[in-house]
Structure 1
Amino acid sequence: MLSTLEDWTKTLDHGGNIDVVYFDFAKAFDKVPFNELISKLANIGFHPRIVNWIKNFITGRSFQVKINESFSQSYPVTSGVPQGGVLSPILFIIYTSQIPALVSQYGVSCKMFADDIKIYKNISRNDDHAAFQAAIRAIWDWSIEWKLPLLCAKTKLFHLGRSEGKHVCYLGEGRLCSTDTIQDLGFTLNTNLSFDEHCHIIARKADHTVHNILRSLSTKSATHLLLAYKSYVRPILEYGATVFSPKSKRSVLRLEAVQNSFTRTLWIRLHGYDYANIPPASIRNRIFQTPFLNIRRSKYDLVMAYKIICGKVKPPINKSYTVSPSCTGGDSFKIKFQTAKSSLRSSFFTLGAGSASLKLSKKYVLPCSLAQYKRLVDRFLKESS
């Protein structure tokens, strides 16, 4: 997701227009044909024993339907990989692995995660749109050849950039529906690439989870309640934090309000309804050892930037950072990155985390160990707050 947004924000920063298509396969995991999948595994070069093991794993299955205490007769499973199986997403990725190479010949980028597939291209002239349409057609033809049908009604066109740059795209004989909001790997995106709506959605979900925890657990044990909060609530607020990390004050406060509400209720449960003596959020956070969420997100950004700079992220997405050895004694290496022309690009992870990493590298000699770096980040953020 970071790699995708890196491409998009960089293109938009230079005044480009981007067309994106999110493909939806009809019952993706259930439609993968056995023979074609086994053939692909063999052609890729898997050992015959592994191919036979996978063949035995996915074939020879049957299913029944249960209603109350009655069962239908048994029917054979004729296609598909088991839903919920550990191997299933990997097998689906292998089955669709031709798609990126298929569209790259048209200058179109492709990003895949299991059955979530999207393609995109910078559209600056009519030839670009024709190439993009040809890539869509190539995927349509591939889906027919490999018996993995696409749903035109659920395949969406997503446009980024100037409204006058919008084009019409077709999948098969049907015109693709355009949308201004899309769900991408759990993130809510709009055409402005603003994550304000996403922050509102996850904050509302986290509020609901906090309510359920406090209603279900009548204990006055701060340890147990904090453990429940850290296990069930904070992951909702921090999933993909490096991707959506909000910059608007409204979204930052909305996310922070979830934790503030929880610690306030926890304090009341422990000490009673003495509203005059309820300490402010900063003191409650220190007492309960729940740092402000924006500080935690800053740590995630710095750690991710360090991983990218050091080449610890696969596939590498460090195209925006230029790293060179330092000739001075203050830092171990120098970080350079292009300045942004737009607020969208300047607020994106690459520049925000890069700028913070630059400040950190000027203040401390950066260690080689990731564990050491994390401790250094904690120290840096504590001194900065």
Structure 2
Amino acid sequence: LQTCLSPSIHSENPRKSFFNQVSLFLTQNNKLDTNQSGFRSGHSAESALLSVIEALRIAKADSKSSVLILLDLSAAFDTVNHQILPSALSSLGITGITLRWLESYLTGRSFRVAWRGEVSKAHQLVTGVPQGSVLGPLLFSIYTTSLGLIIQAHGFSYHCYTDDTQVYLSFQPDDPTVAARISGCLVDISALMKEHSLQLNLAKTELLVFRATPTLRHDFTIQLGSSTITPSTSVRNLGVIFDDQLIFKDHIAKTVRSCRFALHNIRKIRFFLTEHAAQLLVQALVISRLDFCNALLAGLPSSTIKSLQMIQNAAARLVFNEPRRAYVTPLFISLHWLLVAARIKFKTLMLAYRTATGSAPTYFHSLL
């Protein structure tokens, strides 16, 4: 990679050039972790979450319980060790002028603190990758590649979205070793983090338990040092609220509330908007929320997603400034909108097609 990759100093954006070339090299040579979905073409938060959800649903169908652990890293991008990162890059074949360019990009940076009109002296940054840069997530993903090996060594599965890591395990309901396995895995993860100058925040690490049957009870209170991790009934995961029954009622309720708020605000200015402007606002502020990670809702009963359909009906009426009881079918036809259930089905069918044709993330192949 030392000859084919050389970010040009004459490039309009050398960081973007580096990102494109390194990403292409790592993808073509299968160097990237297949369970890392952050900032990769064809991957998304939705595909990452869907991979985890499908594994949990399959386990439940097999009468197994599962645990899901959401790891929390403190200031992850700011603590990347500049001595360890080049070694990680070299192990993937990134050497020579490319590696030297990156080292020069990371070193010699400084920062100042502004407070109440006063600015501090410049201090040199000796750790971290630039946040807000296109390179930050890619470099962090490479830096933490060994994390997956530790997790798999304990028999757990995992999925990452840049610095958000989800660890999960399915097991027979009567397995007495699960709590000890969780503790052992987290201890080794914490040790690896310390070796890489990262900090695993156990106080903010979340644990969800998915029971094989509603009558089961699992006591998975995990004690690690001074930190105690207890199961939650719901957690926020990459913008989606997961619940321990996988019915997404809390997530749907939150989506409905945010959409109602947006519709209320648009309605206050609807008189001043053209029909086209109203449609643009509704699609940006309401329909986008209905579509966000909606593939996760596939298979849910129509009664569960009924409230989402009511929001879409209200959105269509608002676009055309129709009364609240107006018939919505002709409005949907004019807007070329699918109903909520059809939008979910369309999303999953598109994903199935992409998987069958090889353009979807490789971790979906096992689901076909």
TM-score range, shorter chain: 0.7 to 0.9
Does residue 1:158 correspond to 2:231, yes or no?
no
Counterpart in the other structure of 2:224: 171
Shift of 1:214: 4.1
* CA drift at 1:129: 4.2
Write out per-residue CA displacement over residues 181-213 of structure 1, whole angstroms, 9 at most, x where no aligned residue: 111111101110111211111122122223334
Aligned in 2, Cα 1:123/1:84: closer, same or farther, shift over 3 Å?
Answer: same
Deviates more, 1:165-174 or 1:231-240: 165-174
- CA drift of 1:218 comes to 4.9
Question: Are the aligned partners of 1:157 and 1:176 in contact in 2 as well (CA < 8 Å)?
Answer: yes
**Shift, 1:94, TM fit:** 0.9
Deviation (angstroms), 1:25: 0.9
Task: Select the residue among 198, 202, 215 that pairs with 1:148.
Answer: 198
Contact 2:66 2:211 in 1 (8 A): yes
SS state at 1:312 partner? coil
Q: Find out whether 1:233 has 2:286 as its counterpart.
A: yes
Which letter does structure 2 place at the counterpart of 1:134? G
Distance 1:266 1:317, change over 3 A: closer
Task: Give CA deviations for 1:121-165 in whole Å, capped at 9, x if unaligned.
Answer: 123323454333322221011112111011111012221115423
Cα deviation code 1:71-111 (max 9, x no counterpart): 22222223211222211111111111101111212211111
Provide the C-alpha distance between the structure 1 equivalents of 2:317 and 2:93, rounded to a whole number of angstroms: 59
Matching residue of 1:120: 168
Deviation above 6 Å: which 4+ runs of structure 1? none
Unpaired runs of 5+ residues, structure 2, are 1-48
Counterpart position of 2:333: 286
Aligned to 2:316: 263
Aligned to 2:262: 209
Contact 1:155 1:176 in 2 (8 A): yes
| Per-residue deviation, 1:257 | 2.0
CA–CA distance in 2 between the matches of 1:108 and 1:171? 18
Map of 1:73-88 to 2, 5 A cutoff? 73-88=121-136
Q: Is the 1:195–1:246 contact (alpha carbons within 8 Å) kept by the matching residues of 2?
A: no
Aligned pair in 2 of structure 1 residues 58, 287: CA closer, same or farther (>3 Å)? same
Correspondence 1:198 to 2:245: no
Given the superposition, is the C-alpha separation of residues 212 and 68 from structure 1 closer, same or farther in structure 2, using an over 3 Å criterion? farther
How many residues align? The count is 315
Task: Provide closer, same or farther for how the CA distance between residues 172 and 80 of structure 1 changes in structure 2, counting only shifts above 3 A.
Answer: farther
Partners of 1:209 and 1:54 lie apart in 2 by 44
Counterpart of 2:365 (choices 318, 324, 334) is 318
Could you tell me how far 1:296 is from its partner in structure 2?
A: 2.0
Residue equivalent to 1:23: 71
Name the structure 1 match of 2:86.
Answer: 38
Q: For residues 39-58 of structure 1, what are the structure 2 equivalents within 5 Å?
A: 39-58=87-106
With normalisation by structure 2, the TM-score equals 0.78
* Whole-angstrom distance in 1 between the partners of 2:83 and 2:269: 50
Q: 1:33 to 1:105 in 2, by over 3 A?
A: same
With structure 1 as the length reference, what TM-score do the two structures score? Answer: 0.75
User: Per the alignment, do residues 76 and 215 of structure 1 end up closer, same or farther by CA in structure 2, a change over 3 Å counting?
Assistant: farther
* Separation in structure 1 between the aligned mates of residue 217 and residue 310 of structure 2, nearest angstrom: 39
2:189 equivalent in structure 1? 139
Conserved 8 A contact 1:122-1:128: no
Distance 1:219 1:47 in 2: 59
Counterpart-to-counterpart distance in 2, 1:107 and 1:89: 27
Which one-letter code corresponds to 2:306 in the other structure? L
Amino acid of the residue matched to residue 202 of structure 1? T
Deviation at 1:175, TM superposition (A): 2.4
1:118 is paired with a residue whose SS is: strand
Q: Distance in 2 between matches of 1:59 and 1:217?
A: 52
Query: Deviations along 1:234-278, whole A, 9 cap, x unmatched?
Result: 111101111234723344221122222222233337xxxxx59x7
For 2:301, give the aligned amino acid: S
Secondary structure in 1 matching 2:366: coil
1:299 aligns with 2:326: no
Asked whether the 8 Å contact 1:41–1:51 carries over to 2, the reply is yes
Partner of residue 111, structure 1: 159
